[in-house]
Amino acid sequence: MADEPDVSRRNFLKTLVGLSAVAAVGGLGKAVVQNVVTPSVGLSSFPETVLYWVPPGSNSGTPVPVKASEFPVNSPNIWIYYYPLTDDPNFLINLGNSSNVPQKISPVPVTIDATGVVFQSPGGTGPNGSIVSFSAICQHLGCVPPIIRYYPPNQLSILSSILPGPASDYPNGVIHCDCHGSTYDPSKGAGIITHPTYKPLPNVILAWDPSTDTLAAKNMKGPTIYGKSSDLSGGTPLSNLQKTLMIQMSVG
Amino acid sequence: MGFIDDLRSTFSIKNILGEDPLHIDDLPLSTVPDYMRKKGGFWYWTGAMISMAFIYQVVTGLILLLYYNPANAYVSTEYFKNSVPYGSLILTTHLYGAYAMIVLVYIHMYRNYFNGAYKKPRELQWVTGVLLLAVTIGVGYFGYSMSGDVLSVDATDVGRGIALSSPVIGPFIESIFFGNGTSTSLFVRMLGWHIILSAVIGGLFGFHFYLAEANGLMPSQKSANYKAPAVEKDLPEHKPWYPYNLVYMIELGAFVFGLIILIPSIITELQLNIVNAVPPLFDPYPQVAPSSPLAAYVPPYPPWFLLFVYKAVDFKMFNAAGALSALAASTVFGVIPLLYFLVVPFIDRSNDLHPLARPFFTGFGILGVVYMAILSLWGALSPGIPIATNDVLAVFIPPFIIVMGGMYMLSKLYKKGSFKPSLNRIIGSFIVFFIFLVIAIFEFATSLGSMFSGITVYNTAFTLIAGSGMTFAALGTMRSSEISNLALLKAKTIKGYEMSKKTAMIISSILVIISMEILWLMLQANPLNLVQEEGFGIGLGILMILIGIEIRLYRMVYLRE
Ligand code: FES
């Protein structure tokens, strides 16, 4: 330490080099991180898209717009369409009672157990106010149809050991996921009936045009679609925004 | 102060991890004489510079790998360039990093060739080095072909054709390197071989470096007394590897990385701001897609480092080989020189290191440089024009006579002892050589240019004279600068460090302030705007060079180098 001033001057010079190095590494690091993060693809706002289908029993096989009044009540088969991006399946369900009479579904507050946030469900639409639509990806760990599906009221006996109350508590059926047993109430904004899920299914807001009897998906409400950081990113936008074709999945 | 000192000693690396936790003192890296780290000493580190360029290529290449899609080569390349933050910067510096690596490989090779470094005990080191040159060019070729633009398609078509024309094994080579004919298969292969050969470079380099360390750095010819074996390994008077060499390596790295980022950023910036500022041969960006209507306007150039073979294919003399003409041309101008370099340590068995003591080999080396320069320029200026055999001979024979004759005479003088220039004469000759070099380059370029609009005896002769003069001057410049530097360093006395410490502080402080200013500017750049992005690159390159300068100052005042 005999050379004290020299040592500190030497350290000062080293510090100067270090500072420049920090500047360069900072700039470099920023560029590399920003570059390596995959640029997101998606949309800037929710598109509005008319739902098409090939009606059951159609001979021509040509897709036509879904007529809300013709859409089957308590359909035993699953109807899926993709919205808002091509990787996001959603159910379209016409809810009815055990004798397949469509039931009016009113908006209700739905609680997201995981966060405590409450949102208002959009309720049913169509001529009877009975058509609802939810994301078809289970909010627990992401199982997709047909593992997660709608059980109409007359199929609830299959789930009797799982449902917390008697079948009469669920007059319009339930959505149930076989992966780990989460159950959602389609009459109440896909709110939680049984865990392990702590989030309801995201609700799709539908628009029904009474003059043409067509249905269109136009927005989403509730939690974010499973596995995504935002509903509008992380997937390819729909190729034809005017028409979204539904697919039918039969349940074995 | 006492408190801070306490803190410092408690949290010093020494206290936490112990003395020398990285075992730097145990590294088996050889130490080197001081002159290798002094001014002009970078000539001894061309190998280190190549490995730095290689590291840059690996890192940027792996980033590109995250985005490259062989099923959609052109689209994914353009997407990376335009839509991924800093994509343009990474793509262009990866391209120019490859150019830098190839140029450095040639410099490294010729430097060691003219110094006789391939002689005992470094024969194997030399052989692996020549293999590394071949593999590096291979990696460059596959990388160049990956963008899927019209030039890459031309390049793969030519490569395919030459591969196919090889007798018997042709179809195998073609399918191994170029796939089954579908575009996806082609680009999957290009990507695969680009990476596989890069890994081969890594492996061969490991071996090459191990031999280099085991043999020790080749000392200056003078200290080896111009005789092989030139070995000067770990002498007691060498300064220890740490910190001297380590700090020097960091300084060199800052300069190399800085330039690899800076040069292409400036070129791209020019290209973006001035239409056609950069000839297509050096365009930092991919050209249009082969399906574009504009594709017909892009001259069908190969990558510049293969221009010499490309021109040779135009020589009519190879027509005699019929379907094999392209193969014959690339064999004569590509494979045979490579084989020559591979076996040269086993032909040139004398222990003379001085270039003038082995005129035949030195002459061959000079001819290699001259022919390659002429062929490349020729290919760039008159791509695809067939050349009659007479013209080929007219271009090739005069340099041969001039170089070989000149070397013979000089070496006679040298052997007689009458060519022993003094320091002042060397410095003087350096200046003369340098001026001569500049003039020769200019004359060579203009006369060669006029040759392509019509060959006359006059402009042919002029081109050849200027070309040989240019190479001779280049080598002379190189040698004399090296010799004069060594001599100058010896003559210098050490003084005035006390004064320059303060100066170093002040300069470094200013540089740090400039660095921060540049960083601040860089952070404003929009990473998706090509112009601003390349500006970011310019900033980053300058930042690194400033670090190099600061380390240089530090070495100067505190390591006394
Ligand atoms: S994924 Fe549906 S319950 Fe676990």
Per residue in B535-557, pLDDT tens? 999 999 999 999 999 888 888 88
Q: Give the mean model confidence (pLDDT) for residues B326-338.
A: 86
Q: Give the mean model confidence (pLDDT) for residues B86-113.
A: 93
Residue B256 Cα, gap to closest chain A Cα (Å): 14
Kindly state whether residue A229 falls inside one of the protein's structural domains: yes
- Type of residue at B501: K
Supply the ipTM of this predicted assembly.
Answer: 0.72
Question: What pLDDT score was predicted for residue B487?
Answer: 62
Q: Is the Cβ–Cβ distance between B259 and B54 less than 8 Å?
A: no
**Backbone phi, psi, residue B404, to 5°:** -65, -45
Assign B428 a pLDDT band (cuts: 50, 70, 90).
low
The answer, yes or no, to whether residue B436 has pLDDT greater than 50, is: yes
The answer, yes or no, to whether residue A42 has pLDDT greater than 90, is: no
More confident residue, B155 or B107: B107
Residue A196 CA to ligand 1 centre (angstroms): 7
Dist. CA A30–CA A26, nearest whole Å: 6
Question: What pLDDT score was predicted for residue B222?
Answer: 77
A14: nearest CA in chain B? B554
Q: Is the Cβ–Cβ distance between A75 and B127 less than 8 Å?
A: no
Question: What pLDDT score was predicted for residue A1?
Answer: 40
Contact A19 B512 (CB under 8 A): yes
Q: Looking at residue A84, which CATH number applies to its domain?
A: 2.102.10.10
Q: Which of A9, A10, A23 sits opposite B519 (nearest CB)?
A: A23
Interface with chain A: mutation pick from B68, B248, B519, highest number of A CBs within 10 Å: B519
Contact B501 A9 (CB under 8 A): yes
Dist. CA B410–CA B397, nearest whole Å: 20
B504 chain-A contacts, CB cut-off 8 A: 13
Q: Is the Cβ–Cβ distance between B534 and B265 less than 8 Å?
A: yes
Kindly state whether residue A171 falls inside one of the protein's structural domains: yes
Q: Is the CB of A144 under 6 A from ligand 1?
A: no
Chain A to chain B Cβ contacts (< 8 Å): 83
The mean of the pLDDT values for chain A is 85
Contact A24 B543 (CB under 8 A): yes
The answer, yes or no, to whether residue B1 has pLDDT greater than 60, is: no
3-state secondary structure of B227: strand
3-state secondary structure of B240: coil
Interface with chain A: mutation pick from B81, B83, B246, B512, highest number of A CBs within 10 Å: B512
Question: What pLDDT score was predicted for residue A38?
Answer: 80
pLDDT in tens, B501-526: 778 888 888 888 888 888 988 888 88
For chain A, how many structural domains are there in total?
Answer: 1
The mean of the pLDDT values for chain B is 82
The answer, yes or no, to whether residue A14 has pLDDT greater than 50, is: yes
Cα separation of the two ends of chain B = 32
Q: Is the CB of A110 under 6 A from ligand 1?
A: no
Question: What pLDDT score was predicted for residue B51?
Answer: 94
Residue A180 CA to ligand 1 centre (angstroms): 5
Question: What pLDDT score was predicted for residue B321?
Answer: 75
Dist. CA A174–CA A163, nearest whole Å: 9
Residue A216 CA to ligand 1 centre (angstroms): 28
8-state DSSP, B239 = P
Q: Is the CB of A182 under 6 A from ligand 1?
A: yes
Kindly state whether residue A4 falls inside one of the protein's structural domains: no
Contact B508 A13 (CB under 8 A): yes
Q: Which of A10, A35, A36 sits opposite B558 (nearest CB)?
A: A10
Assign B207 a pLDDT band (cuts: 50, 70, 90).
very high
Dist. CA A93–CA A124, nearest whole Å: 10
Question: What pLDDT score was predicted for residue B153?
Answer: 84
pLDDT in tens, B6-52: 777 777 777 778 777 777 777 777 788 877 777 767 788 899 999 99
Kindly state whether residue A97 falls inside one of the protein's structural domains: yes
Kindly state whether residue A130 falls inside one of the protein's structural domains: yes
Assign B362 a pLDDT band (cuts: 50, 70, 90).
confident
Q: Is the Cβ–Cβ distance between B525 and B538 less than 8 Å?
A: no
Q: Is the CB of A179 under 6 A from ligand 1?
A: yes
For chain A, give the DSSP string: -TTHHHHHHHHHHHHHHHHHHHHHHHHHHHHHHHHHSPPP-B-SS---EEEEE--TT-SS---EEPPGGGSPBT-SSEEEEE-SBTT-EEEEEE-B-TT--B------EEEETTTTEEEE----BTTTT-EEEEESS-TTT---TTTEEEE-GGGGGGGTTT-SS-GGG-TT-EEEETTT--EEEGGGTTEEEESS--SPPPEEEEEEETTTTEEEEEEEESSPPTT-SSTTBSSPBPS-TTEEE-EEE---
Q: Is the CB of A143 under 6 A from ligand 1?
A: yes
B90 chain-A contacts, CB cut-off 8 A: 31, 35
Kindly state whether residue A49 falls inside one of the protein's structural domains: yes
Residue reference for tokens 């004398």: B350
pTM of this prediction exceeds 0.90: no
A21 chain-B contacts, CB cut-off 8 A: 547
Burial of A141 (0-12, 13-18, 19+ CB in 10 A): middle
The answer, yes or no, to whether residue B241 has pLDDT greater than 50, is: yes
Q: Which of B63, B553, B558 sits opposite A36 (nearest CB)?
A: B63
pLDDT in tens, A48-63: 888 888 888 777 778 8
Q: Is the CB of A149 under 6 A from ligand 1?
A: no
Contact B84 A39 (CB under 8 A): yes
Question: What pLDDT score was predicted for residue A234?
Answer: 76
Q: Is A25 on the interface with B (CB under 8 A)?
A: no
What range does the domain containing A143 cover?
Answer: 10-159+166-249
pLDDT in tens, B265-324: 999 988 888 877 888 788 888 888 887 777 777 777 788 888 888 888 878 888 777 777
Beta pairing class for A243-245 and A64-65:
unpaired
Residue reference for tokens 């410049």: B477
Q: Which of A6, A13, A23 sits opposite B543 (nearest CB)?
A: A23
Q: B58, B508, B72: which is closest to B289 by C-alpha?
A: B72
- A109-117, long-range: CB within 8 Å, 24+ apart, which pairs? A110/A188, A110/A189, A110/A190, A110/A191, A110/A200, A110/A203, A110/A222, A111/A191, A111/A192, A111/A200, A112/A198, A112/A199, A112/A200, A112/A222, A112/A223, A113/A192, A113/A198, A113/A199, A114/A198, A114/A199, A114/A223
Q: Which of A6, A20, A26 sits opposite B547 (nearest CB)?
A: A20
Q: Give the mean model confidence (pLDDT) for residues B454-469.
A: 72
Q: Which of A6, A21, A39 sits opposite B547 (nearest CB)?
A: A21
Residue closest via CA to ligand 1's atom 1 equals A141
Tokens, residue B141: 């070729």
Dist. CA B448–CA B381, nearest whole Å: 9
Q: Is A227 on the interface with B (CB under 8 A)?
A: no
Q: Is the Cβ–Cβ distance between B354 and B221 less than 8 Å?
A: yes
The answer, yes or no, to whether residue B429 has pLDDT greater than 80, is: no
Residue A99 CA to ligand 1 centre (angstroms): 29
Residue A86 Cα, gap to closest chain B Cα (Å): 21
Q: Give the mean model confidence (pLDDT) for residues B435-439.
A: 65
A30 chain-B contacts, CB cut-off 8 A: 523
More confident residue, B64 or B238: B64
Question: What pLDDT score was predicted for residue B493?
Answer: 46
Interface with chain B: mutation pick from A3, A17, A36, highest number of B CBs within 10 Å: A17
3-state secondary structure of B316: helix
Dist. CA A205–CA A223, nearest whole Å: 13
Contact B546 A20 (CB under 8 A): yes
| Dihedral sign (CA B519, B522, B524, B528) | negative
Kindly state whether residue A220 falls inside one of the protein's structural domains: yes
A9 chain-B contacts, CB cut-off 8 A: 501, 505
Q: Which helix (H) or strand (E) holds B138?
A: helix B123-144
Q: Is the Cβ–Cβ distance between B353 and B228 less than 8 Å?
A: yes
Q: How many CA atoms lie within 13 A of A204 on its CB side?
A: 33
Q: Is the CB of A177 under 6 A from ligand 1?
A: yes
pLDDT in tens, B217-231: 888 877 777 777 888
Residue A120 CA to ligand 1 centre (angstroms): 24
Q: What percent of chain B has pLDDT over 90?
A: 26
The answer, yes or no, to whether residue B99 has pLDDT greater than 80, is: yes
Q: Is the Cβ–Cβ distance between B262 and B542 less than 8 Å?
A: yes
Assign B424 a pLDDT band (cuts: 50, 70, 90).
low
Q: Which of B83, B536, B539 sits opposite A39 (nearest CB)?
A: B83
B254: nearest CA in chain A? A21
Ligand 1 pocket test target in A135, A137, A143, A201 with most atoms within 8 Å of CB: A143
Assign B494 a pLDDT band (cuts: 50, 70, 90).
very low
Question: What pLDDT score was predicted for residue B163?
Answer: 83
Kindly state whether residue A86 falls inside one of the protein's structural domains: yes
Assign B457 a pLDDT band (cuts: 50, 70, 90).
low
Residue B448 CA to ligand 1 centre (angstroms): 76
Phi-psi region of A65 (alpha: psi -120 to 50; beta: other; left: phi over 0): beta
CA-to-CA separations, A165 to A103, A160, A182, B445, in angstroms, rounded? 21, 8, 15, 93
